[in-house]
C-alpha cells in the first residue's frame, strides 16, 4: 500500500468516526424527549414514507423549486453510488475498479452520473440566485438572518464545487484515456465533461494527471468534510427526512391528544356515580408537567421534527398568522426548538446530564405572543415537505402557559370560565344549552 492510500484510509476512518460521534450526540438529544409509541399501522407508515420522503410528492406542489429539488435529491442519491468506487480506488490504489466487471453497464452509469451532476449544478445555481438575487420572500423572514442564511449558501456553494470537481476530474480522466496514459484504461462515457472541458485533450499528460489527481482528492475530501458538516447544518434533513416521515402523525390533522390525567378528571365530573374521594391508583399518578416548557417536556418525535426542519419556509409562507403580520413563524418554532435542544445537549456534554442553566424553550426562545397568534389551522403541517408538526409543539407550550402558569389572554379567560362553570363556552346554564333547538 502506497503512502497516498494510507493517507486516504486514515482520512476515511477519521471522517467516519467523527460523523458517528456527531450522530450519537444527535440521537442522545432526540432521546431526551418523552417516550411515545409510534410503531402502529406499519403499512400506512411505509406508504407515506415512499410517497413523501422518497417520492417527493409534497415538493412538487411548488413545481419550479420542487423539480429542481428532485434534481439535487436524485443527484445526491445516485451520484453517491460512485462514491463506493472512489473509496475503494482510494484504499487499494486502483482506478475505476468497477469498469472491467460491469463493462457496457459502467459506461451507462457514468453517462447518467454526468447528466445528474450537471442537473445538480444547474439546480444549485438557480437556488443561489433565488436566495441572493431574486430574494424569494419566504427566505427573508427574521429567523433567516445571520447563520441560517449563511448555512444555506454554504451548502449550495459546496455542492456546486463538488459537482464541478467531479466533472473536471472526469474530463481530465477522459483526456488521459484518449492519450493512452498508463493506469487510465478506456472506461466510461463522459458527455457533459467532454462538452465543457474538451480542450483538456490539448494539455500535456503530466498536467492532466495533476488535474485529475487534484480534483479527485478535492472531491473525496470535500465529500467527507460535507458529510461531517451535515450534523451542524439544516441539511441534516437529507438523513432524518425518511424516519421523520415514517413516524409522522397518521391521525386526522384536526385531532388533538388529551392528557389522560386531565381527561379522567373531566370524565369524573360528568359521572354521577363517580366517587370524588376515591383513593388514587397507580395509573392516577399526575404528570411531571402539564404541557411543555422546555425541550425535555416534548416527546422524541417533536425533537426529531426540529432536527428534520429544512428551513424552506413553506410553513411560514402558508401560516395565516404570519401573513397578517403576527409574530408567529412556524419555521422559527422549529429552529428555536432545535437551537435550545443543541444548547441542552452541550450543557450535558460539559456539565453532566443533571445540569440546569435556568433557561427554557418557552420564554427564552419562544415568546407567549408567538404561541397565542396561532389559529391551530394546520396549514403549516399540511405545507411541510417532510411531515413536521409545529402545531403540536405550540399546543403543548400553550398547555404549559394555561395549566402551569395560569397565563391566559383576556379574550380566552371568559370562555374558560364559562366552560368550567357551565360546560360550554357560552354564558348560560347547562340546563339552557339546548334551548336554541326550540327556535
Task: Please report the pLDDT score of residue 182 as a whole number.
Answer: 83
CA Rg value for the chain = 28
Residue indicated by cell numbers 437551537? 339
pLDDT at 249 over 60: yes
Can you state the angle between helices 205-229 and 3-30, rounded to 10 degrees? 20
Q: 2 or 384, which is more confident? A: 384
pLDDT at 184 over 70: yes
Whose CA is closest to 298, among 341, 339, 327, 246? Answer: 341
pLDDT at 115 over 70: yes
Domain ranges of the chain: 3-30+62-235, 47-58+248-267+287-427
Contacts 24+ apart (CB under 8 A), 142-151: 142/329, 142/332, 143/329, 143/331, 143/332, 143/335, 143/336, 144/311, 144/313, 148/234, 148/311, 148/335, 151/233, 151/234, 151/235
Rounded to the nearest 5 degrees, what angle is found at the Cα of 172, between the Cα atoms of 230 and 198? 115
pLDDT bucket at 277, cuts 50 / 70 / 90: low
SS3 content of the chain, % helix, strand, coil (to 5): 70, 0, 30
When the candidates are 1.10.287, 2.60.40, 1.10.1740, 1.10.1060, the CATH number that belongs to 47-58+248-267+287-427 is 1.10.1060
Most trustworthy range by pLDDT among 238-242, 263-267, 276-280:
238-242
pLDDT bucket at 18, cuts 50 / 70 / 90: very high
pLDDT bucket at 159, cuts 50 / 70 / 90: very high
Task: Please report the pLDDT score of residue 219 as a whole number.
Answer: 92
Most trustworthy range by pLDDT among 173-177, 284-288, 387-391, 403-407:
387-391
Give 41-60 pLDDT, tens digit per residue.
Answer: 999 999 999 999 888 888 88
Q: 123 or 278, which is more confident? A: 123
> Is residue 342 within 8 Å of 397, Cβ to Cβ?
no
> Is residue 249 within 8 Å of 45, Cβ to Cβ?
no
CB neighbourhood size of 438 (10 A) = 5
Whose CA is closest to 295, among 6, 19, 114, 28? Answer: 28
CB neighbourhood size of 34 (10 A) = 17
pTM: 0.86
Amino acid at each position: 500500500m502506497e503512502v497516498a492510500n494510507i493517507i486516504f484510509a486514515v482520512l476515511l476512518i477519521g471522517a467516519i468516526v467523527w460523523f458517528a460521534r456527531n450522530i450519537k450526540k444527535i440521537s442522545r438529544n432526540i432521546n431526551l424527549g418523552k417516550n411515545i409509541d409510534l410503531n402502529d399501522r406499519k403499512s400506512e407508515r411505509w406508504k407515506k414514507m415512499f410517497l413523501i420522503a422518497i417520492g417527493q410528492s409534497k415538493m412538487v406542489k411548488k413545481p419550479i423549486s420542487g423539480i429542481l429539488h428532485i434534481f439535487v435529491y436524485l443527484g445526491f442519491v445516485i451520484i453517491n453510488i460512485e462514491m463506493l468506487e472512489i473509496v475503494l480506488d482510494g484504499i487499494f490504489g486502483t482506478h475505476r475498479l468497477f469498469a472491467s466487471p460491469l463493462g457496457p453497464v459502467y459506461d451507462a452509469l457514468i453517462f447518467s452520473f454526468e447528466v445528474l451532476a450537471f442537473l445538480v449544478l444547474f439546480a444549485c445555481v438557480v437556488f443561489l440566485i433565488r436566495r441572493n438575487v431574486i430574494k424569494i420572500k419566504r427566505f427573508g423572514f427574521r429567523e433567516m438572518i445571520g447563520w441560517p442564511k449563511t448555512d444555506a449558501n454554504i451548502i449550495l456553494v459546496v455542492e456546486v464545487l463538488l459537482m464541478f470537481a467531479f466533472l473536471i476530474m472526469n474530463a481530465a480522466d477522459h483526456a488521459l484515456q484518449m492519450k493512452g496514459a498508463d493506469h487510465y484504461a478506456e472506461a466510461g462515457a463522459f458527455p457533459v465533461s467532454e462538452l465543457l472541458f474538451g480542450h483538456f485533450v490539448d494539455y500535456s499528460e503530466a498536467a492532466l494527471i495533476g488535474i485529475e489527481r487534484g480534483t479527485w482528492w478535492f472531491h473525496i475530501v470535500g465529500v467527507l468534510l460535507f458529510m461531517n458538516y451535515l450534523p451542524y447544518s439544516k441539511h441534516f434533513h437529507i438523513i432524518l427526512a425518511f424516519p421523520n416521515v415514517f413516524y409522522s402523525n397518521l391521525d386526522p390533522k384536526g385531532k388533538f391528544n388529551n392528557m389522560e390525567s386531565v381527561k379522567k378528571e373531566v370524565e369524573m365530573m360528568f359521572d354521577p356515580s363517580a366517587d370524588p374521594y376515591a383513593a388514587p391508583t397507580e395509573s392516577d399518578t399526575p404528570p411531571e408537567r402539564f404541557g411543555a416548557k422546555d425541550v425535555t417536556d416534548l416527546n422524541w418525535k417533536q425533537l426529531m421534527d426540529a432536527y428534520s426542519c429544512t428551513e424552506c419556509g413553506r410553513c411560514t409562507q402558508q401560516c395565516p398568522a404570519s401573513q397578517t403580520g403576527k409574530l408567529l413563524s412556524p419555521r422559527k418554532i422549529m429552529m428555536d426548538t432545535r437551537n435550545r435542544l443543541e444548547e441542552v445537549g452541550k450543557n450535558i456534554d460539559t456539565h453532566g446530564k443533571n445540569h440546569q442553566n435556568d433557561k427554557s424553550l418557552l420564554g427564552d426562545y419562544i415568546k407567549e405572543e408567538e404561541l397565542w397568534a396561532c389559529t391551530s389551522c394546520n396549514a403549516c403541517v399540511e405545507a411541510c415537505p417532510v411531515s413536521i408538526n409545529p402545531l403540536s409543539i405550540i399546543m403543548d407550550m400553550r398547555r404549559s402557559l394555561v395549566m402551569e402558569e395560569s397565563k391566559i389572554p383576556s379574550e380566552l379567560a371568559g370562555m374558560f370560565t364559562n366552560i368550567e362553570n357551565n360546560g360550554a363556552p357560552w354564558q348560560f346554564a347547562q340546563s339552557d344549552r339546548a334551548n336554541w333547538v326550540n327556535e
